[in-house]
Amino acid sequence: MHDFSSILSRFESISLEEMDSVKLMERTDTKYVFPITSLPEILEGMISQYRLLEINNVRVQRYESLYYDTKDFLLYRKHLVGKPDRYKIRFRRYIDSQGLTFLEVKHKNNKKTTSKKRSKMNDIESGMIDKATEFVIKHTPYQPEIFVPCIWVNYSRMTFVNKYSQERLTIDTNLNYLNAYDQSNASCSFPQMVIAEAKREKAASVSQFIRLVRNIGVREGSISKYCFGIYNLVNEVPKNNLKPKVRFVYKMAGLQFINK
């Protein structure tokens, strides 16, 4: 595991309460993938323009997410063929925030705008009951009984807020997957990979982070962590449409592409 604590300690901190003004629940997302060996240079160039989220003296938070889909992976398939009106459903636990847990529904509309609704839960559920059932009915066009747990997506996250514009930036490392549906192909991990996402109100704005990644030759490349995990862990799903994106991600992360 890479340790960036000496660099991260030089960032001005921001609290969860202070981040309320940069929630960006309606936003435009831009994703980048690059090798973890490039991260120190990028972080160094961000220090003067970003504040770093700190919770209970912790600056790198651990996330656990359990994604739901149908048994035939309907949500994955809709993403795969580029349906403009698509959803993701997940439970997410914030380990370093006393296990704070939410059920979240993400919706991408035909204008390529992403919205997120969430409801606080007592714990991650292996099946949807009561409050979770009502939430899914309210915020999706689906009946909750069609969904089952499919895949765990776990990683470490650094969250930055731009001092000068409405931008929130997440940088994820230590990406790990665990198959919750079929134990025959149980897990995989990508410690060499960084997935960064700039969340902005205006897609046209270019931030310091975006300048830094462009300067080292990283191109924008959208990849869903969920779909990337399904591609790598689940055999009985279509993959051809996603293969060019996966190949691109492997290339940007400096990994050898595995044809599946």
Rounded average pLDDT over 122-151: 91
Alpha-carbon span 26 to 178, nearest angstrom: 30
The reply to whether 115 falls in a domain is yes
pLDDT tier at 26, thresholds 50, 70, 90: low
**How far, in Å, are 60, 67, 128, 169, 185 from residue 105 at the CA level?**
24, 10, 13, 20, 26
pLDDT tier at 144, thresholds 50, 70, 90: very high
Statement: residue 114 has pLDDT above 60: yes
pLDDT tier at 6, thresholds 50, 70, 90: very high
pLDDT tier at 199, thresholds 50, 70, 90: confident
In the block, residue with structure tokens 């714990």: 123
pLDDT tier at 20, thresholds 50, 70, 90: confident
* Residue 184, pLDDT score: 64
- Pick the range with the lowest mean pLDDT from 66-80, 147-161, 246-260: 246-260
* Residue 202, pLDDT score: 60
Cα torsion angle, 188, 190, 191, 195, sign = negative
* Residue 28, pLDDT score: 73
**How far, in Å, are 141, 153, 209, 228, 241 from residue 246 at the CA level?**
29, 17, 23, 7, 10
* Residue 183, pLDDT score: 64
Tokens of 249: 């991600």
Percent of the chain at pLDDT > 70 equals 93
Statement: residue 5 has pLDDT above 70: yes
Statement: residue 98 has pLDDT above 80: yes
Statement: residue 149 has pLDDT above 90: yes
Statement: residue 14 has pLDDT above 90: yes
How high does pLDDT run on average in the chain? 88
What are 200-234's pLDDT values in tens digits? 776 556 789 999 999 999 988 877 899 999 999 98
The reply to whether 258 falls in a domain is no
Q: Assign residue 155 the CATH number of its domain.
A: 2.40.320.10
Alpha-carbon span 128 to 148, nearest angstrom: 8
Residue partners of 85: CB distance under 8 A and separation at least 6 = 107, 108, 109, 110
HSE toward the beta carbon, residue 111, CA cutoff 13 A:
7
Which runs of consecutive H residues, i.e. helices, occur in the chain?
Answer: 5-8, 39-46, 74-80, 131-139, 208-215, 225-233, 243-252
The reply to whether 259 falls in a domain is no
Alpha-carbon span 219 to 127, nearest angstrom: 39
The reply to whether 139 falls in a domain is yes
Question: C-alpha 215: how far from its chain's center?
Answer: 23
Supply the pTM of this predicted model.
Answer: 0.87
The candidate with the shortest Cα–Cα distance to 68, out of 8, 133, 131, 120, is: 133
* Residue 160, pLDDT score: 96
Reduce the secondary structure of 78-114 to three states and give it as a string.
Answer: HHHCCCCCEEEEEEEEECCCCCEEEEEEEEECCCCCE
Q: How many separate domains does the chain show?
A: 1
The reply to whether 257 falls in a domain is no
Provide the 10 A C-beta neighbour count for residue 73. Answer: 19
Type of residue numbered 173: T
Statement: residue 139 has pLDDT above 70: yes
The reply to whether 160 falls in a domain is yes
| Domain membership of residue 95 as a residue range | 5-252
